[in-house]
Structure 1
Amino acid sequence: GEGVALGKLGRLDDAIASYDNALEFKPDDHQAWYNRGVALGNIGRFDDAIASYDKALEIKPDDPSVYYNKACAYALQNKIQLAIENLQQAINLDVKYKDMAKTNTDFDSIRDNEQFQELLQ
């Protein structure tokens, strides 16, 4: 949709506004909540991003990409335990997130954590 195109241009505030707009008409749009979370995360608004991801999970509780992105947001805030719990959820739902986490710089702050390393074994 329109939000995605704007996000690619780096006009993230416009993208967020267009997701807000879409969600006014369709508050149960899982993808819009997810995209909104990604856009907010990209401008460092991690608490807002996590709130959007939570909304997406209310609608579709078994979406591993949402848990994965939530884990990234928590890791970037140094909330280690929450990052690990959400990453665990993502991996339980889809094992590909194990490999993704190995190279994702969002997790650099927790890379030395024992639990994190065990999760990626």
Structure 2
Amino acid sequence: MLLSCAGWRCQRMISISDIPGGNPVARNDPEHYSIKFQICPDCHKSFCDRCVAPKTMLRAAKCRECGGKLVDGSQRQKVNGTAVAPLVQLHDEGYRHGAAGNMPAALGCFDQVVAARPDYVAAHFSRGMALRNLGRHDEAIAAFERAFALDPRNPQSMFDVGSIYAATGDYDRALAAYDRALAAEPRYVGAMVNKMVALLNSGRAQLVPPLAEHALMLEAAGQSADHTPNATGYINGAKGAALLALGHNPQALAAIDQAINDGPDTPDNYRNRATALERLGRAEEAAAARRIAEQLR
């Protein structure tokens, strides 16, 4: 039997086997499989031995989702035979409210959860999302900061802090947040993409191409931590925009065409393509690109 690890974007599978010493295939491939794991009696999430290292008998490891005390994976059947903890149910209720668009009700649930268990990581993150959707940005940032302080191996909170700052035009703080996310997970391509956009918007286009090349290398090698959909399209779009700003028109056009080929279609890519084509004296193609940009807009 295989279980998914609940660690942030962890691609390792948890192998459960009756074979003494574990399934030999899993045992011989520790990069992709873990035969040791821990499970949370409160939220029932399972974590491989890299996402949560076992503690001593005197101090149990804590769940990276809800802050509960983890137990050895050998107790999985016993744990799964019980209901999730009331606090977890309350958090899930808040999540359902949020998914339905009722942010005040969602926030009310998350507030209760973190008041009862201050180290409930996912509830602080969920609270940040609700506050952001309510336009209470300072409080949202504080909630994301708390989530990151509790689980500094999960960079998602810093990604969202960066997004808040970028949306308000505070690119220096946005870049600082993306750098913190990348310090926690250097292969976080989604944070690299957002960092590239912030660099472009803050007039630092010269810093984008090297970062884009690094991100493309990670994607080509299958080594990105987050596996962002259409990542190469977004990377090449940012790279093309930067090269265009730097006056490298042929190289910009090549990158933009690759972005369009990889998808998704965005008006920015076609507007940039039109500009590059105009600069290269290809007026008819530029006009066609502008028409597509207007249709997409």
TM-score, structure 2 length as denominator? 0.36
Question: Which residue is 1:92 aligned to?
Answer: 183
1:112 to 188, 201, 207: 201
What is the alpha-carbon distance in structure 1 between the residues aligned to residue 210 and residue 113 of structure 2? 37
Q: Look up the equivalent residue of 1:35 and give its one-letter code.
A: S
Q: For the structure 1 residues 6 and 110, does the alpha-carbon distance in structure 2 shift closer, same or farther, using more than 3 Å as the test?
A: farther
- 1:33–1:53: 8 Å Cα contact kept in structure 2? yes
1:87, distance to aligned residue in structure 2 (A): 0.7
Question: Which residue is 1:14 aligned to?
Answer: 105
1:7-44, Cα deviation, whole Å (9 max, x unpaired): 00000010001000111111111110011001111222
Alignment partner of 1:66 is 2:153: no
Question: Which residue is 2:229 aligned to?
Answer: none
Question: Which residue is 2:116 aligned to?
Answer: 25
What is the alpha-carbon distance in structure 2 between the residues aligned to residue 75 and residue 119 of structure 1? 21
- 1:75–1:110: 8 Å Cα contact kept in structure 2? no
TM-score, structure 1 length as denominator? 0.81
2:173 to 82, 87, 90: 82
SS of match in other structure, 2:101: coil
Q: For the structure 1 residues 43 and 117, does the alpha-carbon distance in structure 2 shift closer, same or farther, using more than 3 Å as the test?
A: farther
What is the count of residue pairs matched by the alignment?
118
- 2:153–2:185: 8 Å Cα contact kept in structure 1? no
- 2:175–2:198: 8 Å Cα contact kept in structure 1? no
Question: Which residue is 2:126 aligned to?
Answer: 35
What is the alpha-carbon distance in structure 1 between the residues aligned to residue 188 and residue 130 of structure 2? 20
Structure of larger gyration radius: 2
RMSD: 2.5
Q: Look up the equivalent residue of 2:201 and give its one-letter code.
A: D
Alignment partner of 1:57 is 2:148: yes
Q: Give the number of the structure whose residues are more often helix, by fraction.
A: 1
In the alignment, structure 2 segments of 5+ residues that lack a partner are 1-91, 213-297
SS of match in other structure, 2:126: helix
In the alignment, structure 1 segments of 5+ residues that lack a partner are none
1:101, distance to aligned residue in structure 2 (A): 5.7
What is the alpha-carbon distance in structure 1 between the residues aligned to residue 187 and residue 130 of structure 2? 23
1:91, distance to aligned residue in structure 2 (A): 2.5
Identity %: 25
What is the alpha-carbon distance in structure 2 between the residues aligned to residue 46 and residue 110 of structure 1? 22
